[in-house]
Amino acid sequence: MLQDAFRGGKRYWILLGFWVALIVVGLAAYGRQLSEGLYITGMSQDVTWGLYISQFTFLVGVAASAVMVVLPYYLHDYKAFGKMVILGEFLAVAAVLMCGLFIVVDMGQPARVANIILHPSPNSVMFWDMLVLTGYLLLNLVIGAVTFEAERKGAPPHNWVRPLIYLSIPWAVSIHTVTAFLYSGLEARPFWMTAILAPRFLASAFSSGPSLLILMAIIIRRFTRFDAGWEAIQKLATIVVYAMVINLFFVLVELFTGLYSDMPHHLHAFEYLFVGLEGRAALVPWMWVNAALTVCAVVLLLIPGIRRQERFLAPLCVVVILAIWIEKGLAMVVTGFIPAPLGQITEYAPTAPEIAITVGVYALGFFVLTVLYKIVVNVRERLEAT
């Protein structure tokens, strides 16, 4: 099975080369960050988390979304997801890998990362987040590899994986819940301190993750002989649109509480996001783009005639991913720091090396994903041929 990673055409190697080039650029920038310090990023004493932790948050969602194919397939025996499920599990593997890397590149002393395990601190949500993410990575890696290997041999998977599969379902929910708790338990940051944060994270995850999965499935069926199935893609599209509607609802609930109560602490963050605070408005254009994209995606995807056509579905999936990325990968983390506890409004914008490192981590994740998907595609193509 593993040797399939080395069997590919010219396009495969060019794609891998492309990822490697981006990884190399990212590594160079990371080398600079390691030697000079995190001051080369756009972060400051007021905005202490930026692009890295935002990407981490966004990608935990992508990872958690594998449950949207695992659950219908294994719990409800929804056969149409038979070929999709492995794509979901391997996407989760790549996403969790990127999550871990984003945490490490954000650290001031990455060489000491083992301290989290050497000095376990159950009172810290970050400790639990590390545990659930590591567990989720292993679960998906094991389940994905074992079930796929069994399928390759045309035999049913070992019985011992079944409990692991069932375990992976609540576990997927846990990774994003615990990630939300990282933020929502801090009395210092009123913008994050909301009980709806975890449900919101899950809803946005279940729209952005499956959107990415749809795109992957469409790309794979375009360029290879492996087709995950149009029915499966359509079912995912339905999941995407309802998760998006629920997410929009949660956002509006949040806005109501802030705006109607009119409490300054709640208001400031929303003012900063949508109109700007004391003339600082770096995120305002992004947030209005986000609003437009969200409405556009929800309205169009709700129309079955549009959802059912690949030429509309694919771009709309891109729209969903962009909207959720702006929400979680850009605005959500940074806005928690604005205004700072002492009233200062310090804005944040990532620097070039910071962006290079971020792109590098994404490239590494997509390198792994490309290899994993290549194995899946090669094996499937052989199975179809026989």
Please select the residue that binds other proteins; options are 23, 43, 283, 372, rule is CB under 8 A: 43
What is the residue whose two structure tokens read 């650029």? Answer: 25
- Residue 48 as a binder of other proteins (CB under 8 A): the answer is yes
- Residue 261 as a binder of other proteins (CB under 8 A): the answer is no
- Residue 16 as a binder of other proteins (CB under 8 A): the answer is no
CB of 43 to other proteins, least distance (A): 7
What is the residue whose two structure tokens read 């506890």? Answer: 341
CB of 97 to other proteins, least distance (A): 16
Taking the C-alpha atoms of residue 226 and residue 371, their distance in angstroms, rounded to an integer, is 15
Please select the residue that binds other proteins; options are 115, 257, 261, 309, rule is CB under 8 A: 115
DSSP state of 155: S
CB of 40 or CB of 296, closer to other proteins: 40
215-254 residues in contact with other proteins (CB under 8 A) are: none
CB of 109 or CB of 305, closer to other proteins: 109
DSSP state of 353: H
- Residue 154 as a binder of other proteins (CB under 8 A): the answer is no
Distance of CA 41 to the CA centre of its chain: 22
CA neighbor of 85 nearest in space, from 97, 93, 73 = 73
CA neighbor of 63 nearest in space, from 185, 145, 168 = 168
- Residue 126 as a binder of other proteins (CB under 8 A): the answer is yes
- Residue 314 as a binder of other proteins (CB under 8 A): the answer is no
Taking the C-alpha atoms of residue 93 and residue 140, their distance in angstroms, rounded to an integer, is 6
CB of 41 to other proteins, least distance (A): 8
Please select the residue that binds other proteins; options are 11, 20, 124, 383, rule is CB under 8 A: 124
341-370 residues in contact with other proteins (CB under 8 A) are: 341-344, 346
End-to-end CA distance of the chain: 17
- HEC secondary structure over 18-64: HHHHHHHHHHHHHHHHHHHCHHHCCCCCCCCCCHHHHHHHHHHHHHH
Binding site for other proteins (CB under 8 A): 36-39, 43-46, 48-49, 103, 106-110, 112-113, 115-127, 130-131, 134-135, 138, 142, 160, 182, 185-189, 336-337, 340-344, 346
